[in-house]
Structure 1
Amino acid sequence: MEAIWGIDLGGTKIEGVVLPADWQRNLQQLQPLARLRIDTEADKGYMHILHQIQKLLQMLEQETGLKPARLGIGTPGTRDPVTGLMKNSNTVCLNGQPLKKDLEALLRIPVIMANDANCFALAESRLGRVALEQLHPEVVFGVIMGTGVGGGLVVRNQLIQGAQGIAGEWGHNFLDASGGPCYCGKTGCVETVISGPALERYYASLTGQHIKLKTIVQRFQEGDAAASQTIERLLENFGKAISVVINIVDPDVVVLGGGLANIDLLYSEGLQRIRKYVFNNRLDTRIYPPALGDSAGVFGAAMLVSA
């Protein structure tokens, strides 16, 4: 069996990993054969990003003495399955580009691509929280709540990408008009209401103070009234937004990721808000924090080429 190669393409850094062929043997003590990061340098343009990926791959080859037969890549945005062009990426120079085709021509190996939130969901299912809890769910929904809001859907341990490549994109469903305009062109998206920057803007609208969400959480714990309103906004809208996902796909497990996944209230009071809105008289879906931290993206990219 061949080693498993993955690359997580981010806006500021590109991370690569090489996993052993028998990675499933001991998940709790999994040791990559190599794991490296370099800067994306996205401001230098699309072609420079391609060559940074090539550079990182060559560094991994030098460290392991191996060569990949194929490569999994997690990306910001997604590849349109009809046109083959990138879309919905906040690394805007990728949009409209045939990234998969160009990488395959440059690297001369097959490339399998997926959105970074999809990679998170796949990693937490196969390597992370779901695997470590020894669960055997049919459906897992992975949530990203950080600078942006996204999601990924895994069914029977396989990633679902959808006819338009947007499966799991709950961050751009309508939630509340008070969120205001979204970069996607719509108004009131989930991302405009419960992302980290959205909550920071809300706190600033109450106080005139522009502070980080981590500080807002600290102030909430100290009894600050505006911080309490901000956390209440998060909890109530989290419950509404997740209940829609549960009503539609009824996942066995939801794993939260991103910076907001560190807010403990989401796993207690947040559950009560989901129960309030879900179309059932109880909540059987299990809600978990992540197990892989910032490893999820690159491990999930590697999982794209693992059976």
Structure 2
Amino acid sequence: MNLWGIDLGGTKIECAVLDSAKNLEVVARMRLPTESVNGYEHIISQIKKLVDMVAEQVGEKPTKIGFATPGVLEPDSQLMKNSNTICLNGQPLKADLQNALGVPCQLANDANCFALAEALMGAGKEYHTAEVVFGVIMGTGVGGGLVVNNKIISGHHGIGGEWGHNILDEDGEQCYCGKKGCVEQVISGPALERFYEKESGEKVTLKTIMERYYGGQDIHAKNTVERLLEFYGRAISTLINVLDPGLIVIGGGVGNIDLLYNDGYERIKKYIFNKGVVTTPILKPRLGDSAGVFGAALL
């Protein structure tokens, strides 16, 4: 039986069909723009349009579909929350999708889908003994997904793995979640760019900051990267102290910074509750931007 997955993003909706649970080969992939500015009902119609197009391509309709979503479905109310695609919040997305598509739908946060895909199809293929896999997203935002024994842990409130909204710097910036100094407000890409601008008075991209850091002449770039590494070490150590995963995979643009995997890894040793010993594999993802849609199919 084919496995259908849809990654519902803020700008694009992607559908992928995998051959079967035993053969995770891609049978079809297709994208449509989300066009979220047109509202919630339009997003539903775009999803249905995409499903119909893919069904025509593969020659059969789905019997069930997994969805990677921004935000989560609140377990009690069955309404969406915490989505940066704001029109989804407060909506019964699962029920509406099932009504529109006529098949059972399973929803999970996009970071959880990332973690599941990397555990089963990506970096985790080399670490079969890892019972616990944590997927970190460090990009425009910061989030996380938790997989235990190849199963997503959504949690009692539906916020399992929500790493990005724990307080990391009490003197840090105000976060939209209502707290100050969340992980997302310290080591996300935009947070690093804001810190550099505050230090230097110049607004530049993270890529430029890193180029200036490696150039060795910019004290503000050095301070920005030093802050990243120190707070990264502290934040990752908390994950290890609580979960002690067998594998951590880091996605998102900030996760491409190679320093995280050597200098940053050393910083973890300062904070871990293990006499400074860290052996946790921390890897870059293997699936690129496909992880979300593959994880959705694996649901």
State whether TM-score is above 0.5.
yes
Is 1:71 matched up with 2:101?
A: no
Structure 1 distance, partners of 2:65, 2:141, is: 26
Q: Contact between 1:114 and 1:301, CA under 8 Å: does it hold in 2?
A: yes
Is 1:7 matched up with 2:2?
A: no
Match of 1:175 in 2: 168
Letter in 2 for 1:21: S
The alignment partner of 2:61 has SS state of coil
Match of 2:294 in 1: 299
Match of 2:274 in 1: 280
Aligned residues: 297
Alpha-carbon offset, residue 221 of structure 1: 0.7
The alignment partner of 1:210 has SS state of coil
Is 1:211 matched up with 2:214?
A: no
- From 242, 246, 249, the equivalent of 2:243 is 249
Computed over aligned residues only, the root mean square deviation of the Cα atoms, in angstroms, reads 1.0
Q: Contact between 2:139 and 2:188, CA under 8 Å: does it hold in 1?
A: yes
Alpha-carbon offset, residue 186 of structure 1: 1.2
Structure 2 distance, partners of 1:16, 1:82, is: 28
Segments of 5+ residues of structure 2 without an aligned counterpart are: none
Segments of 5+ residues of structure 1 without an aligned counterpart are: none
Structure 1 distance, partners of 2:229, 2:12, is: 31
Q: Contact between 2:127 and 2:247, CA under 8 Å: does it hold in 1?
A: no
Alpha-carbon offset, residue 75 of structure 1: 0.4
The alignment partner of 2:26 has SS state of coil
Structure 2 distance, partners of 1:43, 1:236, is: 38
Alpha-carbon offset, residue 134 of structure 1: 4.4
Match of 2:55 in 1: 61
Q: Contact between 2:68 and 2:113, CA under 8 Å: does it hold in 1?
A: yes
Letter in 1 for 2:129: H
Q: Contact between 1:252 and 1:284, CA under 8 Å: does it hold in 2?
A: no
Write out per-residue CA displacement over residues 4-41 of structure 1, whole angstroms, 9 at most, x where no aligned residue: 0000000111111001015x44xxxx641111111100
TM-score normalised per structure 1 = 0.95
Q: Contact between 2:113 and 2:296, CA under 8 Å: does it hold in 1?
A: yes
Q: Contact between 1:123 and 1:297, CA under 8 Å: does it hold in 2?
A: yes
Q: Show structure 1 runs of 4+ deviating over 6 A.
A: none
The alignment partner of 1:114 has SS state of strand
Structure 2 distance, partners of 1:11, 1:148, is: 13
The equivalences for 1:139-288 within 5 A come to 139-223=132-216, 224-281=218-275, 282-288=277-283
Letter in 2 for 1:285: T
Write out per-residue CA displacement over residues 116-142 of structure 1, whole angstroms, 9 at most, x where no aligned residue: 0000000000100011x2432111110
Structure 1 distance, partners of 2:96, 2:244, is: 38
Write out per-residue CA displacement over residues 151-199 of structure 1, whole angstroms, 9 at most, x where no aligned residue: 0111111110000000100100000033311111111100000000000
Match of 1:119 in 2: 113
Q: Contact between 1:3 and 1:21, CA under 8 Å: does it hold in 2?
A: yes
Alpha-carbon offset, residue 68 of structure 1: 0.5
Letter in 2 for 1:291: R
The alignment partner of 1:192 has SS state of helix
Structure 2 distance, partners of 1:210, 1:52, is: 37
Q: Contact between 1:179 and 1:198, CA under 8 Å: does it hold in 2?
A: no
Letter in 1 for 2:182: C
Q: Contact between 2:168 and 2:235, CA under 8 Å: does it hold in 1?
A: yes
Match of 1:48 in 2: 42
Match of 2:90 in 1: 96
TM-score normalised per structure 2 = 0.97
The alignment partner of 1:35 has SS state of strand
Structure 2 distance, partners of 1:99, 1:146, is: 25
Structure 2 distance, partners of 1:76, 1:134, is: 28
